[in-house]
Structure 1
Amino acid sequence: MAFGGNNSGPAAAPAPGPVDSVTRPASPSPSSTPPSEEPDTTEPEAPAATDKTPSASSSASALPEVDLTAPDGYTEALSATWGLAPVPCTQHEQQLVDLDDGTSRTEDEDNGAVQEPGGAELLHWPDTCNSLGDYKLRALANTRAGLLRADAPKSFDSCRAAAGTGFGALDLSQRIDREDRGFIEGAALCSVTDQGAVAMAVIEHIDGRSTDDVSVSGPLYVWAAAP
């Protein structure tokens, strides 16, 4: 009798152990749903990374791609800036732009005539003085300048070729005239300067409404003739 009592005691004790070990794995089965929720938390992070990519690419495409390769006989291209800045026509000033370095100066307006060219390639002057925009732009006489269209490659060879096409007076305040001539953002004014350099003045920004005196600005690349 004592032997049978001792067996029943130990046999009953191990029995709860396996039951506990079974019920513990069974409880993780509901916890299998949280793992399925973890991919949901990671999915919003993936679009966040892609949202940054378009903004970077759009800013990179603001300017046309420029090939700055210098051919034999010319130095590495120098970078500067250029611009056209109208003033009230009542000041009777005209602006002359030297594309060798992008510098500009003013002199008294004389109906588009120039007193002292001083090596400048472009003239920016008020044609009349009224309530509407009236500034014009042209290449100075005896200079080589022309417009390189926005869809043309921006390189030394294409710019030198465009410089021989000529650039007559353009009504900058007339948007239709500007667009018809190809004077738009992404295009460039090219010149073979009085110093023998090839200059490419890229039109990066045009500011002004359809009848305003607009301002123009952008980068300038100059391939100087090798000494």
Structure 2
Amino acid sequence: MSTPTGPGTPPPPPPYPPSPPRTDPPRWAWWVGGIAIPLVGILVTVAFGGKDSGPVAAPAPGPVDTATQPSSPGPSGMPSSEEPEPPASSDAAPSASASPEADLTAPDGYAEALSTMWGLAPVPCTQHEQQLINLDDGTSRTEDEDNGAVQEPGGAELLHWPDTCTGLGDYQLRALPNTRVGLLRADAPKSFDSCRAAAGTGFGALALSERNDREDRGFVEGAALCSVTDKGAVAMAVIEHIAGDAVDDASVSGPLYVWAAAP
């Protein structure tokens, strides 16, 4: 019960409001935090960094495992570990691709080379025809077959005739008598000088259906028959294509180059 105030006595002061509750951590928590955080950092450093005793030397290189290591690509994009394919055998018969390119240079005293075609075209032996080929221009004509004898050469250099008429590889080829014809081999230079020299070697009868005989004689694709004709020209009949064998008579064709003597 309050004491009544008398006249002239000031009233007592109002009571202080209660203090709000503290929300910040107590002062001892700051001390604990200040000590615990550095201590945790020291422990982490010791636990992980203490195991590193210094730089570790790189391991020595060991042998490369070729079974698992991919090989580096070569210039062509293929792995260099792959072995290249072996070259083609050199025992194959010469072909036109192995023949040197013809040098058609005309020497003094001769005209620029004429370029045309020549060929041998067998017919059934029962027709009893033989073919005569003129190497001045590549033309051919036929006459009645007479066992390889010629009735009228007419300036021809080659005779193509059926030797027998069995139906199996009948035709043969030879140079006519009193002509200058020879074979220029496939690997020889195809030029005026080499062809004129080969023309003096002679060309006897050859059974065209016998492939082994043809190859032994050098009558193959890429070779040439050369002649100094009755008109004084140098002719080079290149054997570009041969078709047929023992059963079918062989046909022959190719380009003909003729250096005519200058008038």
- TM-score band, normalised by the shorter chain? 0.7 to 0.9
Q: Does 1:156 align with 2:192?
A: yes
Q: Report the number of matched residues.
A: 170
Distance 1:85 1:62 in 2: 25
SS at match of 1:163: helix
In 1, the alpha carbon distance for the partners of 2:156 and 2:179 equals 9
Aligned: 1:183 with 2:219: yes
Q: Distance in 1 between matches of 2:236 and 2:152?
A: 23
Residue 126 of structure 1 aligns with an amino acid whose one-letter code is: P
* Contact 1:66/1:153, CA 8 A, preserved across alignment: yes
Structure 1 residue runs of 4 or more that deviate by more than 3 Å after TM superposition: 60-64
Provide the rounded CA distance (Å) in 2 between the counterparts of 1:114 and 1:204: 27
Q: Which residue of 2 aligns with 1:74?
A: 110
**Per-residue CA shift, 1:66-101, capped at 9, x if unaligned?**
000000100000001000000000000000000000
State the partner residue of 1:125: 161
Q: Secondary structure at the match of 2:256?
A: strand
Q: Does the CA contact (< 8 Å) of 1:146 and 1:190 recur in 2?
A: yes
* Amino acid paired to 1:130: T
Q: Deviations over 1:7-44 (max 9, x none)?
A: xxxxxxxxxxxxxxxxxxxxxxxxxxxxxxxxxxxxxx
Q: Corresponding residue for 2:233?
A: 197
- Partner of 2:196: helix, strand, or coil? helix
Greater C-alpha Rg: 2
SS of residue in 2 equivalent to 1:161: helix
Q: Which amino acid aligns with 1:179?
A: E
Q: Of the candidates 90, 102, 114, which is equivalent to residue 126 of structure 2?
A: 90
| CA spacing shift, 1:62–1:181, aligned 2, 3 Å | closer
Q: Give the 5 Å matches for 1:204-215.
A: 204-215=240-251
Query: Identity percentage over the alignment?
Result: 86
**Does structure 2 conserve the Cα–Cα contact (< 8 Å) formed by 1:198 and 1:223?**
yes
Q: Secondary structure at the match of 2:167?
A: coil
In structure 2, how many angstroms separate the alpha carbons of the residues matched to 1:61 and 1:169? Answer: 26
Counterpart mapping for 1:1-227 below 5 A: 61=97, 64-227=100-263
* TM-score (normalizing by structure 2): 0.63
Structure 1 unmatched runs, 5+: 1-45, 48-59
CA contact (8 A) 1:97 1:121 kept: yes
**In structure 1, what is the Cα distance between the partners aligned to 2:164 and 2:105?**
42
The residue identity in structure 1 corresponding to 2:208 is L
Q: How big is the shift at 1:212?
A: 2.3
8 Å CA contact 1:174, 1:211 repeated in 2: no
Per the TM alignment, residue 61 of structure 1 is displaced from its structure 2 partner at its CA by 4.3
Q: Is the CA contact 2:214–2:220 (under 8 Å) kept in the aligned structure 1?
A: yes
Provide closer, same or farther for how the CA distance between residues 73 and 67 of structure 1 changes in structure 2, counting only shifts above 3 A. Answer: same
TM-score (norm 1): 0.72
Letter in 1 for 2:195: C
